[in-house]
Amino acid sequence: MGRGRQKAKHTKVARELKYFSPDTNYSALERELAESKGPSSEYDAWADKYAELDDDEDFEDEDEPSDAQSV
């Protein structure tokens, strides 16, 4: 029986969130995005180091049915 008040409160909060538009600091956003480019180069270094160990041979037999599945 108390669902009406709960739903009204939820609707009010959802409406406030939908129409809320905070001030955007574009210079801070630009700095943050510029800094995020650094870790990708670190990942690339690891990817280059271990590229020779990356084998896709494990995935070649996925199209073939296994003996356990054949009935």
Full pLDDT tens readout for the chain, 71 residues: 578 999 999 999 999 999 988 888 999 989 888 876 655 667 777 787 787 776 655 555 555 555 555 55
Does residue 11 sit within a domain?
no
Q: What is the pTM of this model?
A: 0.31
CA dist 59 → 11, 16, 24, 41 (Å):
48, 49, 46, 28
Cα 48 to the chain's mean position, in Å?
23
Q: What pLDDT score was predicted for residue 9?
A: 95
Does residue 8 sit within a domain?
no
Number of domains, the chain: 1
Does residue 71 sit within a domain?
no
Termini Cα distance of the chain: 55
d(CA 25, CA 61): 51
Residue positions counted in the chain? 71
